[in-house]
Amino acid sequence: MRQNLVAGNWKMNMTYQDGLALVSEITSMVADEVTAANAPQVVICPPFPLLHAIGRLLPQGSRFHLGAQNCHHKESGAFTGEVSAKMLASVGCEYVILGHSERRQYFREDDELLSQKLKAALAAGLKPIFCVGESLDTREADETFNFIGKQLQDGLFHLSNEEFDQVTIAYEPIWAIGTGKTASSAQAQEVHAFIRERIARAYDAKAALNTTILYGGSANAQNARELFSQPDVDGGLIGGASLKSRDFTDIIKSF
């Protein structure tokens, strides 16, 4: 079911104590300030060592959910340093980010591997937030739609209708991540509408209508309201701004 959603990706930031303090501030501020009927669901995605402690601080039965930033594609085995989807579920995770541009770039994760991670996450009962997006070179070559279409086809559209219903998609223009640049609301809407059209083609109109699609390129408290007002933008995958309680709360209030 399509819903408004804001996910905070802390990346490799926050010590144990700093993370606990941040999430306590966020939950308190949201409880005091967020009252709109269309207020979003909120996913907090801290680093692995903080997951269990952060999950215990999230108010039960509230709009808050726990998410991880990645998972391994195998359920268990001799994979030193890796974390399985089943492990994530066991500490209370409901969501997991897959295919983030930093994982694709720095760890060479390709669509074949990501398709296996999707299956593993779904088998463990997790809801994937699947990321797609183009580089500046790709955009300037006018290949944005071909590139994202291939990411969707190769990495995601092998899922069954029932599996796909559990997926949230995040469009993250790589040229706008950590650069201070942001896609205009019109640029974001254009790509989100394209993604929704491709979902309808791969599955059906109902699936396209019900899929939550987030914007993930340097969204912040200043531009969130305009971005979220676009008809096919259902929220944001927030990086740096999710590390500041005031900014993150203001983004949540932007609906």
Q: Which of 65, 102, 172, 192 is catalytic?
A: 172
Q: Which of 65, 100, 134, 192 is catalytic?
A: 100
Query: Which stretches within the chain are classed as H helix?
Result: 16-33, 51-57, 85-90, 101-106, 111-123, 136-140, 144-155, 161-164, 185-202, 205-210, 224-228, 245-252
Q: How many CA atoms lie within 13 A of 149 on its CB side?
A: 11
Those residues whose C-beta lies under 8 Å from the C-beta of residue 158, and which sit 6 or more positions away, are: 115
Q: What is the CA radius of gyration of the chain?
A: 17
Max distance between CA atoms of the chain, in angstroms, equals 48
100 catalytic per annotation:
yes
Short-list 24, 72, 26, CA closest to 48: 72
172 catalytic per annotation:
yes
Name the token pair of 94.
Answer: 């409901």
Q: How many CA atoms lie within 13 A of 252 on its CB side?
A: 27
**Residues recognised as catalytic:** 100, 172
